[in-house]
Structure 1
Amino acid sequence: MNKKWMSVTLAMTLGLSLTTSSISFAKKKDDWKGNLVIAGGALGSSNKEVYNEFISLAGGKKEAKIGIIPAASSSLKSSQSFKKDLITYGLHEHQIEIVPLANQDFSGTSEDESKWRKNANRKRIANKIENYSAIWFVGGDQLRITDTLVKPNGHRTKALDAIWKMYKEGGVLGGTSAGAAIMSDVMITGGDSLGALNKEFVMKNNLKSGEEYEPLHIEKGLGFFKYGIVDQHFDERARLGRLVMTALKEKTRNQFAYGVDEDTALIVNNKQQTVKIVGRSGVSVVDVSKTKVIDSDSAHFQDVYISHLVSGDTLNVSTKEFFISDHKDETNEYEYYEFKPLDATGVFTSYGRLKEYLSYSLIDNTTTNAVKSYLYDSKGEGFQLTFRKTENTKGYWGYKDGQKDDYSFTNVAFDVAPKKVSFKKNANAFTEYKKSSFIPPVIDRSEPVKGNLLIAGGALGSSNQDVYKKFIDLAKQKEDSRVGIIPAASSSLVSSKAFKEDLVRYGMSPENIEILPLAVTDDKKTPEDESKWADLNKNDQELAKNVERLDAVWFVGGDQTKITDSLLNKNGTNSKVLNAIWKSYRNGAVLGGTSAGAAIMSDVMIAGGGSHDTLASGFTNTYDGMLQQEGGPGYLERGLGFFEHGIIDQHFDKKARLGRLIAVADEKGEPKNLSYGIDEDTALVIYNEDKKAEVVGRGGVTLVDLSQQLRSPDFGQSQFKNIKLSWINQGDILDLRTKNIIINEKKESTKGYEYYEHIVPPHSGVLSGHSVLNKFISYNLVDNAGAESVKSYSFNNGRGFELNFRKIEETEGYWGYTDGQKDDYSFVNVILDITPVNVKINSKK
């Protein structure tokens, strides 16, 4: 195999050790009193839970004395930002110092920081370190940390001795990204899941391999974490494959390996021998103690066990017992879902990240005991990944941050087998496609609208103050406004009551907020029969007059067809209450809604269907309730038409709804209009009088433009060419008249200044890095000088689609930091071509 640097293809047993040194920095006597805060990278400045935990362990706001080691970075910016964050959380500047330890000159300073390497052996620096209560390692390149703190002969410097002394006597060590990677004895310094499963190992770390994957590279870490191997950026960069292969190679049979997600921390208590999770995502725990190796010449094995813990969960590392947060209930025998999940094959897969895919499609789903995904290069050479329930598999569910699903699970079996996947284009692969017979309604828009819209994509967090404050600010009387909450979409009043509580928390008076008696479903937990509300009340004159006086109306999530059933008469005409909503809207009221409450906003309401199934099968005239929102052919009904500029879809990122939005827009959209896919915990705000739209919240909005798509007699129904995609997020503005996009001024154009330069394998499933659509395009295409196009595939039962995302002259990406050191992208004018294909999957010889 030709490489630009030395590499070795491993054709040995999976038990081969890859570490480069036998020296251990930890002493055999392990009565360590200190703690660890191991953050997985991209730690948001707003992540109170992680910052407060670190400060508390360091002695609290009054006693903490913290040293920040900048060695991993190429500048002092991240160290200065972390110091600023600590001050924001209550520390004084004199309690925090940036320790002059580095092995290279930093950009943006007059000093030559490469001379700081000598400080690692100076007693003055060592004495300073011993007096800290905590040390923090910033992110960057983990090899720079070890090169700074470890002598060329592999022994400790004085500074590293001092860090160990402080830690063993009760201090806390923390770090993010590279600062997490150095924590375990085995330090993963490079490689991705495909490279690791291909069993390639390089002696020198080098990202510019000229290949579509990066070989596995392991060095000696500093050994502060004694309970196994640590990996970071775990979910975003899909590193399960590389962590599993590292654990197998390093004979990690009696210990777990830990993959820490971004914006999340693993808190290690050495005295109690426990680890707990804090932060916004989770930690994957890998157990290879029972793994069966089928073929030692390739990554072919069974019975790796994966558990996933989230904030509030703990693990006793001595007994290997999991303790799940008591706000969650077991899902075993109480599974919520019954849909048949498709294999995770690319950006059209619902719940495309590992944790989400396993939680929704396997753990909390009665229909299957196993699900599959794939990982392969552009030649189709790769692996089939199977995730299985066993008798020891357990799932746990609860709500967090309002009404967001919160899952944990333990002991899912993971099997890997080599496979060859091949694709052959076939424009007529889907001849059974059925067009929609739905006829869009004609909405009377003769009167101008003074009010505005706030359309949230679902899973709106109670802590999402930007969205809540925007809704309140848009209401005519702001905090003193009268708000009506329509509970119709839900099967209970819980979400309506929760939204009322959230509004009160953000400053509104509870007396001014009422839950309107409009529903077609009975709440089993109340004595009243709410299923009668709609028939009794939607044409009630007094209720209509009350609604006319409202300053804001909110539609909760659930099933959007229940909202229209509650507000439309059986002959399709508007009820008196719906007319009253329209009147208040025209007079200046704000209308808002989340999930189902977003779906009803446009004329064409998407009520069901999955991306792959809608593109493959087309549309149906029957509706199977909420389950149809998880897949199947598309289903359309009349929306309420408050949004006149195109078609809305929601839960867009998590449920991967690009395909169904394209199919709906192609059949029922107006060529002059865009279509809008709104992510979870995000809102599209419409200023009707100004004819502008703004994105607010934690995700973004995908804009789909079919106005320039190309059609040909040779195209099958499911084939598209020249679809234009843009993705905008917090602070970006869209002019609804001209379709011009104004990007948040905090971001800079990446065009001509791309950060990355690498070849990209196809997005093939849950182990593809940056797996959500917008991240896949942002990192791998618009901010990547090494690719003019990137591909993904979606397939089922031998047929599927090739998705080719490509740059044109008008393509442009934008990047900046917004919340701490988190990458924040927008992009415009990426072109997508969709081609039907036949698919074959064979075992590799």
Structure 2
Amino acid sequence: MEIKIGGVKVKKIINMAFMALLLASACFLPPGKVSAHHDDEFRGSLVIAGGSLGSSNKDIYESFIKLAGGAEKAKIGIIPAASGSLKSSKEFRADLVKYGVNEKEIVILPLSDHDFSDTDFDEKSWKNNVHSKAVVSQIEDLSGIWFVGGDQLRITNTLYDAKGKSTLALDAIWNVYKKGAVVGGTSAGAAIMSDVMITGGDSLGGLKGKFTGNSESPKNKEYEPVRIDRGLGFFKYGIIDQHFDERGRLGRLVATAIKYEKQKKKYNSYGIDEDTALIVNNQEKTAEIAGRGGVTVVDLSKAKEHKGKISNVSISLLSPGDKMDLTAKSFTIHSNKSATKGNEYYQFKPLEATGVLTSYGKLKSYLSYSLVDNASTESVKSYLYDSKGSGYALTFSKTGNTNGYWGYQDGQKDDYSITNVKMDVAPASLQFKRDKHAFKDYQEANFELPEKKERGRIEGNLVIAGGALGSSNEDVYKKFIELAKEGSDAKVGIISAASGSLSSSYAFKNDLLRYGLKDENIKILPISTHDFKGTSVDESSWKENRNSDPVAAEIKNLDAIWFVGGDQTYITEALFNPDQTESKALKAIWDMYKNGGVLGGTSAGAAIMSDVMLAGGGSLETLTKGFTNTYNGMEQQEGGPGYLERGLGFFQYGIIDQHFDNKARLGRLIATAHEKGNHGQLSYGIDEDTAMVVNNLKQKIEVVGRGGVTVIDLSKVSTNPKIKSEYKNILLSTIAPGDSVDFKTKEIQIDEHKTRTKGNEYSDFDAAPHSGVLTAHGTLSKFLSYQLVDNSREKEVKAYSFDKGKGVELTFRKTKETDGFWGYKDGSKDDYSVVNVVVDITPITVKNE
């Protein structure tokens, strides 16, 4: 249960006696029992949001309002019963007003079975309102009803009576829904939508076959049994689960549907990601995905379960704009995507998804890049297990019906949909042992930087984006424009050298125009060593321009330069002379930058910013194999040993890495910084859709955008020269937008909207290791936030990454210097910063018995 009030997190411990009483009155759903309304025809619609709905999520809010009759006619009731306070209901009302609904036509319905923490009134008395004719009259006048998040049992306990029968208030909701009203909800408000309501538990508990009708979890266990109860049944086409991707709930949904969905051939089951909604049209029996995440569709019509093994599960992962026929169980993929089958973009050999060092380690990304858009493999594997290694191996395979669909979203971000991947689950028992003799073939980096050049005073600034920069990422674009001396009158040059075409340069130019720059002030600079696809000009002739006096003069007259993404080695090749001296164009860029100009770049355009340029390699491979002197382009960018080259050195204060969260580059950054970095400086890993803004005069960085920056401090690290890749006492911090770092003092300043978690940890549970794509809160920053720093039970958490029986154990430890900070962003989304977690890396041997 979540209660966070006014920037202060309030921890409530629900004792077993209270929960037993709650569950006794909550009407456990007997297997096979469904709503009495299922045979009825509904004119109404559903907007089922997976949780953490952002106030800025225009598509979902506008869809709900439109289905309620439009902003001018909508009459909306908000049911606060799930929450511990009225805060979320008031905030949702404010959001509706922001999107145009008349505030007088929005009512918070007095329905609850408990008191709220932020009022003087005792709302427990509202339980009686379920029989009130006045409240029924209020409901019957509505065109839309919304259930806020919290504890789904509080909703059902409020709207069912003690005998499990529908109350007058629930009957009234059903009546307006049948007549055409829209019913929506988020988190707990999504969980109540199906007949079978999942009220708790996790994937490991589900796959172990642990189900219960009460709330008591086994003590000192790293999994929770799945708790099942009776929902309200507004969605009649299968089982719903929520917070799906963020909390790794595929295992629990599959296990639940196997046990409780009695019409598997007729109905699928649905897992809805956070900040995403499944919008259901009951008249057409269709649904569409809206928002920022996706919906996972589980088809068990051909699945089998025997002695812990589950086989032949079909899973599909749909994206915003995709549609489905809920009875025909068919999909319509958005028209802006093209099929990947037979036209796969990637050719690299993917590693198994084994932990925080797995590239594309979340479920959808992993299946997109490593399987369906990858011609080199027919199946991939991941794991889910406890600290003893007891758990499951998950195999995802292509079949004749498997397909992927790719397009761009929000500018040039990859957007995938996936249909009909086969999943098999088998018990596994893994043993991890320290291996003092591991990685005998490890190759140290023999890359040598030229002598560092003294640059003197630098007045300019940097905007270094980690890749996949969204066109809608207003904060990053506005910061880039703001830092230019002339602001909206700034003259900007775009360097396309990293890319294989000019499309990304034109896209960035259009974004700058949308944010207020003038067309005549934006120039694509003629700097490249290779030809671009889709043009009549052979741009390889541009290589001579690096020493062109007119090009150099044009650069000096600019206020800002942006490097687009692609292959970073193309940028350095275009700006260094063949003898590695600086070209006239590069000297001109330095002059402009030193005199106050702003330099920016994304992806490859970020990699070139430090003196040591990370040009290729994967995390696990760099830790286990070391470095290579050869580079083979795309494949090297997706994995293999680390590959280093000389960067342009605009960032003077450490080493930069990018695509940090999605490509899990922690391992390669640590290895590179240890071998080639200054241990007195910090190193920085920048997430996608995020920028690290560097102020050279103030000697600080600030995080801007939608992700975070991982900060690595090796000043206290110790290693064993006899054991390769064994590290102790690495300091790691993950900071978020609004946070900053002082280069000189290494002090991290946390945004003032956050409160300290230390001594006020929200959670108290045993955390299983990070083991793969079904690990809850799977990205590095989220894993450390939820599982360690905001969890009073754990002093350390582990993650394992391995390939062919060899790998590493990562131990993340709290010390006296470790701290965590929490707040809300964009409505009620959790926003964490983590400071000074200690990381130890140990080589291991892995046996799968």
1:740 to 718, 737, 747: 747
| Residues 157 and 370 of structure 1, relative CA distance in 2, 3 Å threshold | same
Matched residues in 2 for 1:491 and 1:23: separation?
58
Partner of 1:518: 527
Matched residues in 2 for 1:416 and 1:22: separation?
25
Matching of residue 410 in structure 1 with residue 422 in structure 2: no
Partner of 1:821: 828
Matching of residue 696 in structure 1 with residue 708 in structure 2: no
Partner of 2:572: 564
SS of residue matched to 2:71 = helix
Matching of residue 672 in structure 1 with residue 684 in structure 2: no
SS of residue matched to 2:464 = strand
Matched residues in 1 for 2:589 and 2:255: separation?
58
1:285 to 267, 286, 297: 297
Matching of residue 77 in structure 1 with residue 87 in structure 2: yes
Partner of 1:807: 814
**Contact preservation (8 Å) 1:5, 1:204:** no
Alpha-carbon distance, 1:252 to partner: 4.1
Matches within 5 A, 1:229-248: 229-248=239-258
Partner of 1:13: none
Matches within 5 A, 1:52-451: 52-207=62-217, 209-250=219-260, 251-253=262-264, 254-293=266-305, 295=306, 297-298=307-308, 300-451=309-460
Gap regions ≥5 residues in structure 1: 7-17
Q: CA-to-partner distance for each residue in 1:516-569, whole Å, 9 max, x for gaps?
A: 0111221221110112212x2110000100100100000000000000011000
Matched residues in 1 for 2:167 and 2:56: separation?
35
Alpha-carbon distance, 1:702 to partner: 0.1
> Which amino acid in structure 2 is aligned with residue 34 of structure 1?
G
Partner of 2:648: 640
> Which amino acid in structure 1 is aligned with residue 778 of structure 2?
S
Partner of 2:6: none
1:595 to 603, 616, 621: 603
> Which amino acid in structure 1 is aligned with residue 189 of structure 2?
G
**Contact preservation (8 Å) 2:735, 2:833:** yes
SS of residue matched to 1:350 = coil
Q: CA-to-partner distance for each residue in 1:362-407, whole Å, 9 max, x for gaps?
A: 0100000000000111111111000000000010000000010000
Q: CA-to-partner distance for each residue in 1:203-222, whole Å, 9 max, x for gaps?
A: 31235743100001110100
Matching of residue 610 in structure 1 with residue 618 in structure 2: yes
Matched residues in 1 for 2:401 and 2:31: separation?
37
| Residues 107 and 699 of structure 1, relative CA distance in 2, 3 Å threshold | same
| Residues 210 and 20 of structure 1, relative CA distance in 2, 3 Å threshold | farther
Q: CA-to-partner distance for each residue in 1:221-275, whole Å, 9 max, x for gaps?
A: 0000001000000000000000001110013412000000000000000011100
Matched residues in 1 for 2:726 and 2:626: separation?
12
Alpha-carbon distance, 1:91 to partner: 1.4
> Which amino acid in structure 1 is aligned with residue 788 of structure 2?
L
Alpha-carbon distance, 1:132 to partner: 0.5
**Contact preservation (8 Å) 1:443, 1:641:** no
Partner of 1:757: 764
Identity %: 60
Matched residues in 2 for 1:228 and 1:210: separation?
33
Alpha-carbon distance, 1:710 to partner: 1.7
**Contact preservation (8 Å) 1:518, 1:537:** yes
1:549 to 557, 564, 570: 557
**Contact preservation (8 Å) 1:818, 1:824:** yes
Matched residues in 2 for 1:150 and 1:628: separation?
58
Alpha-carbon distance, 1:21 to partner: 6.9
Matched residues in 2 for 1:530 and 1:416: separation?
51
Normalising to structure 2: TM-score of the pair?
A: 0.96
Partner of 2:639: 631
Matches within 5 A, 1:696-845: 696-712=704-720, 715-842=722-849
> Which amino acid in structure 1 is aligned with residue 566 of structure 2?
G
**Contact preservation (8 Å) 2:273, 2:294:** yes
Alpha-carbon distance, 1:22 to partner: 6.2
**Contact preservation (8 Å) 1:230, 1:260:** yes
**Contact preservation (8 Å) 2:699, 2:744:** yes
> Which amino acid in structure 1 is aligned with residue 442 of structure 2?
Y
Partner of 1:11: none
| Residues 809 and 324 of structure 1, relative CA distance in 2, 3 Å threshold | same
> Which amino acid in structure 2 is aligned with residue 211 of structure 1?
K
**Contact preservation (8 Å) 2:394, 2:424:** yes
Alpha-carbon distance, 1:23 to partner: 5.3
1:533 to 524, 537, 542: 542
**Contact preservation (8 Å) 2:720, 2:727:** no
**Contact preservation (8 Å) 1:674, 1:706:** yes
**Contact preservation (8 Å) 1:21, 1:220:** no
Q: CA-to-partner distance for each residue in 1:611-656, whole Å, 9 max, x for gaps?
A: 0000000000000112211100000000000000000000000000
**Contact preservation (8 Å) 1:705, 1:724:** yes
| Residues 785 and 28 of structure 1, relative CA distance in 2, 3 Å threshold | closer
715-724 or 231-240, which deviates more: 715-724
Matched residues in 2 for 1:438 and 1:235: separation?
40
Matched residues in 2 for 1:639 and 1:799: separation?
32
Matching of residue 480 in structure 1 with residue 489 in structure 2: yes
1:506 to 499, 515, 518: 515
Matched residues in 1 for 2:662 and 2:263: separation?
33
SS of residue matched to 1:507 = coil
SS of residue matched to 2:703 = strand
Q: CA-to-partner distance for each residue in 1:252-303, whole Å, 9 max, x for gaps?
A: 412000000000000000011100000001000000000122x2x32x0211
Normalising to structure 1: TM-score of the pair?
A: 0.96
How many residues are aligned here?
Answer: 823
Matched residues in 1 for 2:31 and 2:422: separation?
32
Matched residues in 2 for 1:552 and 1:94: separation?
49
SS of residue matched to 1:636 = strand
Alpha-carbon distance, 1:445 to partner: 2.7
Matching of residue 683 in structure 1 with residue 671 in structure 2: no
| Residues 301 and 637 of structure 1, relative CA distance in 2, 3 Å threshold | same
Partner of 1:46: 56
Matched residues in 1 for 2:474 and 2:76: separation?
31
**Contact preservation (8 Å) 1:646, 1:675:** yes
SS of residue matched to 2:467 = coil
> Which amino acid in structure 2 is aligned with residue 336 of structure 1?
Y
Matched residues in 2 for 1:663 and 1:30: separation?
62
Matched residues in 2 for 1:342 and 1:446: separation?
42
> Which amino acid in structure 1 is aligned with residue 687 of structure 2?
D
> Which amino acid in structure 2 is aligned with residue 563 of structure 1?
I
Matched residues in 2 for 1:98 and 1:441: separation?
67
1:461 to 467, 470, 476: 470
Matched residues in 2 for 1:650 and 1:278: separation?
28
> Which amino acid in structure 1 is aligned with residue 767 of structure 2?
V
Alpha-carbon distance, 1:202 to partner: 2.1
Alpha-carbon distance, 1:88 to partner: 1.0
SS of residue matched to 1:538 = helix
> Which amino acid in structure 2 is aligned with residue 229 of structure 1?
I
Matched residues in 2 for 1:418 and 1:75: separation?
42
